[in-house]
Structure 1
Amino acid sequence: MARLGKAARGKSRWIGIRIIPPADSRESCRIAIDESIDGLEWKMYDCESDESGTLAIIRIPLVYSEEATSRLNQSERISTVTKSGKIRLVRERMGINQSE
C-alpha cells in the first residue's frame, strides 16, 4: 500500500520541553507529559536526562499546538523550550544530537 502524500498527512508541530526534576525513565517522562496534555493526540520522539532535568521532544497536530503549549507551561514540572514545524530545528535549539 502506498504512503499518504505529504499534504494528506496533516500538519504538526514539534515541541521541545524540559522536565524538572529529571524523569527516571522514558516511561516516567511519558506519564508526566500525558498528565499535562491528557486528551490531546501526541507522540514523544526524544527523551534525554541529566542532573539538571529531562529534555524531550514531542510531535503534536497543528490544531492542538497552542492548547498543548499552554497546558504544558501551566504544569509545575514542565516548561516548553521551543516549538517548530521541523524536528531538526528543535533538536538544534535544545542541543539534542540524533546519532541513529
Structure 2
Amino acid sequence: MAGLGKAARGKRRWIGIRISKATESRKSCQTILSNQLSGIDWKMFDYKSNKSDTFAIIRVRLEDCEEAISSLNESKLIETQTISGKIRLVREQMGLKKTG
C-alpha cells in the first residue's frame, strides 16, 4: 500500500534552534525541547553539540509554527535562529551538514 501523497501530509516548517548550553546527548536535548513544546506535535531531525552550545533542527506543522516559536523563545536557554519550509535551507543557514 502506498503512503500518503505530499498534499495529504500537510505543510510543515523547519525551525533551527540554539540551546545556550551543551547537552550530553540527543535524548537530553529532546527532553529540554519536550518541556518547552508540550502540546505541540514536533520531531527533531538534526542535533549537534559542542563545548558551549547545542544546535538542533525540528519539524512542526505549519499551523503550530507560531506557537512553537513563541514557546521556545520564552525559555532563557533556547533561541530560534531560522525558520523555513525546506530543511536544506535551515541546514545551510545554521552551517549543519546532512546526517545519515
TM-score (norm 2): 0.96
Shift of 1:76: 1.2
Indicate whether 1:37 and 2:37 are aligned.
Answer: yes
Given that 2:46 and 2:57 are in contact with CA atoms closer than 8 Å, whether structure 1 keeps it comes out as yes
Letter in 1 for 2:46: D
Deviations 1:22-78 (A, max 9, x none): 111100000000111111100000010012300000000000000000010010111
1:90 maps to 2:90: yes
Q: Distance in 2 between matches of 1:99 and 1:29?
A: 17
Name the counterpart of 2:71. 71
1:51 aligns with 51
Distance 1:99 1:35, change over 3 A: closer
Using the TM superposition, give the Cα deviation of residue 9 of structure 1 relative to its aligned residue in structure 2, in angstroms: 0.5
Q: Between the two proteins, what is the percent identity of the paired residues?
A: 55
- The letter for the 2-side match of 1:84 is S
SS of match in other structure, 1:60? strand
Question: What TM-score do the two structures reach when normalised by structure 1?
Answer: 0.96
Q: Which runs of 5+ in 2 are unaligned?
A: none
Give the 3-state SS of the residue equivalent to 1:4 in structure 2.
Answer: coil
